Structure 1
Amino acid sequence: MPADQPPTVPSLDEIYGKFDLSQVPAFAGGFINFGYWADAPDDRPVSEADRIGTEKELYRLVLRAFERTEGRDAVEVGCGLGLGSALALCEYGFGSVVGLDIHPEQVRRARERNAAVRDAHPGQLDYRRGAAERLPLPDASVDCLFSVEAAQHFPDIPGFAREAARVLRAGGRLVLTTFFATGQEAARALPGLLPTYADGLDLAHVADDVTAALAEAGLSELRIRTIGESVWAAYDRYLGQVPELRDLWPRRFLTAYEKGLLDYYVITADRPQTG
C-alpha cells in the first residue's frame, strides 16, 4: 500500500457485528463514542476510568437536552451495546427505554450486558433490532428519541427524519449527537483523509442537510450547536499517551477537525403540538 494511502478499517457489518468494537482500547468501556471532554482532567494523564467517564458524559449531555424525562417513554436509535439506554433509564427516570440497533449481534450483546438493569426494572428496558429508516415502533409511541454517535452510519437521513417524526408524540423531542461534514466540499474531501469514510464505515453527511431533512419531515424548533472543542483535541491527547493507540486511524479526526472538514454536533428538534 502506498505511504499516502490511509489504512483500511473493518466494514460496518464486521465492526458492529462479529467484531466487538468495545474491546478496542480507543473505545474502552462499551459506550463506543469519542466522548465529551469538557470536564476531563488536563493536568495529568487520562486514565481508562476517565476515558469511560467522557463517554458517559456525552450521553448525559444529550439526555439533559430533554426538558423532562421522569416517567416518559424513550427510544435510542443505534444503541450499540445498550449501556447508554441503561444509563438513561437509571439516571434520568424514564418510564421506559427501548434501544434499537440494526446489528443482531449488538442487540444480543446489549441484552446480555444489561441483564441486571433489566431485571431490576422489569418491563422498562428493552433492546430490539431495527434500522434508523424503519423504526419498529408504532406511530406516536415515544416522547424522547435520542441517538449518540450513530447517525454518521445511517444510509438514509431523510428516511430517519420521517421515522423520527412518525414515532414521536406531539410535543416530543429528538436529540442526536455525532460528527458530520461541515459542507459539501468538506464531505468530498473526507474520504481522502479518513479511512472510515473511504471504506464506507462512516458516511459524509453534511450537518445542514441533516437539519434540513428534520425540518422537511415536519419537526420544528431545530437547534444545532458544535461541541468539537470539547471532543477532538482531548480525545487525541488520550490516544497519544497510550502506546498501542498512537498510530491508530482515530487520530486523523483531529486533523479533519483542524482543517475544518468536520465537527461534532448536538442537534435537537421537536414534534409540534397538535390540536
Structure 2
Amino acid sequence: MSSESIPPQVRRVYGPFDLSSIPAFAGGFINFGCWDGIDLDGPLTVADRVRSQQRMYQHVLTALTGPGWDAGSTGGARRERGVLEVGCGLGLGCALAVEEFGLPDVTGMDIHPEQLERAARANERLLGESPERLRFRQGAAEAMPFGDGRFGGVYSVEAVQHFRDLAAFGRECARVLAPGGRLAVAGFLTPHEDPGAPERLAAMLDSYADGLDVAHPLGALTGSLADAGLRAVRTESIGALVWPGWDRWLATSGYTTTWSRNFLTAYREGLLDYYLITAEAPAG
C-alpha cells in the first residue's frame, strides 16, 4: 500500500505526530473512552483515563465474543479462525484481546505504517512470547489484504469516522468473515440522515472541518452492512457513557482550548452520538 492511498488528514494526524503521546490519550489506546463506573464528580486521574479506554475495548470485545462465541461448530470456527481489528493503532486493544479475553489468534490492521511500527514496539514482549497469537498487517478498511472467510470475528474501535467508503468497508467485512462470524464496530456517527449535519459539525469541531472525521449517518453504516449480506445488524447508543466523561477529562487535563469540548455539545444537540454496532455473517 502506497502512502498516497492514505487520506492526507489521516497521514498527518497518525504519522510523524504520535497522537498517543499527548495526555488527552494517556495510555495509548487512542479512543474517547467508555466512562461507566468512573466517578466523574471528583478529580480524574491518568489511571481513570487509561481505564476508560480499556473499558471501551472491553465493551466491544464482550459484544464480539459474548454468548454463543464458543458454542457448537460455528463457535469453534470463530475461535479457530481468529479475529481482526480494523484500525488497530498501537495495538494495545489487540493485546487486551489476547491477554484478557484469551483469544488465541488476533490480527491488528492499520492503514498507517508508522502506527504499525509503534504497535510493534509497544507490544514487543507479547510478540516475542506469543508470536502465533498476535500479528500486525498494513491494510485499508475498504481493501483488506486477507482471503475470503479468514476471520471468525472482526471488530473496530473509533476508526469508522475516518473511513471514506462505508459500502466498501461493509463488503470487505462480509468477505473476510467466516460463515457465522461476528462483527462489532464502535464509533461516532450522526444519528440521522441530515444534509446539514456535516456543515454544522465542521463549524463546531476542527476534526470535521479539516476532513479527518467524516459525518457518516448511522444508517449509512448499518445499511452498508446489510447490503453486504450481513444479518442481525443491531445498534446501541453508548453516547451517555462516552461524551460526558470525555468532556470532563478535557477539562481536568487542561485541553479546553486545544481540544474542543463541542463533542458533548454536538451530542446534546442531537448532531452526533457514539454507537456500538454488531452484525453476523450468514451461517452458510
Q: For 2:222, which of 211, 214, 224 is the aligned residue?
A: 211
Deviations 1:20-75 (A, max 9, x none): 00011111110000000011123421100110000000000000012326655000
Q: Is the 8 A contact 1:78 1:147 kept in 2?
A: yes
Q: What TM-score comes out, normalization by structure 2 length? A: 0.90
Post-superposition Cα deviations, 1:163-191, rounded to whole Å, max 9, x if no partner, equal 00000000100000010012232234211
Q: Distance in 2 between matches of 1:90 and 1:114?
A: 12
Task: Tell me the residue number matched to 2:281.
Answer: 271
CA RMSD of aligned residues (A): 1.4
TM-score normalised to the size of structure 1?
Answer: 0.93
Q: Is the 8 A contact 1:225 1:267 kept in 2?
A: yes
For the 8 Å contact 2:84–2:107, the answer to whether it is kept is yes
Deviations along 1:222-265, one digit per CA (max 9) or x if unpaired, are: 1001000111112111111223x122334111111111100000
Deviates more, 1:135-144 or 1:113-122: 113-122
CA distance in 1, matches of 2:62, 2:125: 24
**Are residue 257 (structure 1) and residue 267 (structure 2) matched?**
yes
Query: Does the 8 Å contact 1:224/1:267 carry over to 2?
Result: yes
Out of 26, 29, 33, the residue aligned to residue 28 of structure 1 is: 26
Describe the superposition over 1:184-222 as per-residue Cα deviations: whole angstroms up to 9, x where unpaired: 322342112111011001011101110000000000001
- For the 8 Å contact 1:194–1:249, the answer to whether it is kept is no
Matching residue of 2:152: 143
* Residues 31 and 211 of structure 1: CA distance in aligned 2, closer, same or farther (over 3 Å): same
What is the aligned partner in structure 1 of residue 207 from structure 2?
196
- Matched ranges for 1:88-99 at <5 A: 88-99=97-108
Contact 2:32 2:242 in 1 (8 A): yes
What CA deviation, in whole Å up to 9, does each residue of 1:61-91 have, x standing for no partner? 0000123266550000000011001110111
Q: Percent identity?
A: 47
**Which amino acid in structure 2 is aligned with residue 247 of structure 1?**
T
Aligned to 2:189, the other structure's residue is in SS state strand
1:145-164 alignment runs, 5 A limit: 145-164=154-173
1:81 aligned onto 2:90: yes
Residue in 1 aligned with 2:119? 110
2:265 alignment partner AA: T
- Do the aligned partners of residues 250 and 116 (structure 1) sit closer, same or farther apart at CA in structure 2, a change above 3 Å counting? farther
| AA partner of residue 217 (structure 2) | V
Seen in structure 2, the aligned counterparts of structure 1 residues 221 and 71 have a Cα distance that, compared at 3 Å, is: same
Give the conservation status (yes or no) of the 8 Å contact 1:72–1:95: no
- Of 15-24 and 186-195, the range deviating more from structure 2: 186-195
Tell me how far apart the structure 1 counterparts of residues 176 and 10 of structure 2 sit (CA, whole Å).
26
What residue in structure 1 maps to residue 45 of structure 2? Answer: 47
Residue 248 of structure 2 aligns to a residue whose secondary structure is: helix
Q: Which runs of 5+ in 1 are unaligned?
A: 1-9
Ranges of 4+ aligned residues in structure 1 off by more than 4 Å? 69-72
State how 1:117-136 maps to structure 2 within 5 Å. Answer: 117-136=126-145
Matched-pair contact (CA < 8 Å) for 1:71–1:94: no
* Contact 2:250/2:259, CA 8 A, preserved across alignment: no
Alpha-carbon separation, structure 1, partners of 2:80 and 2:223 = 31
Q: Is the 8 A contact 1:187 1:206 kept in 2?
A: no
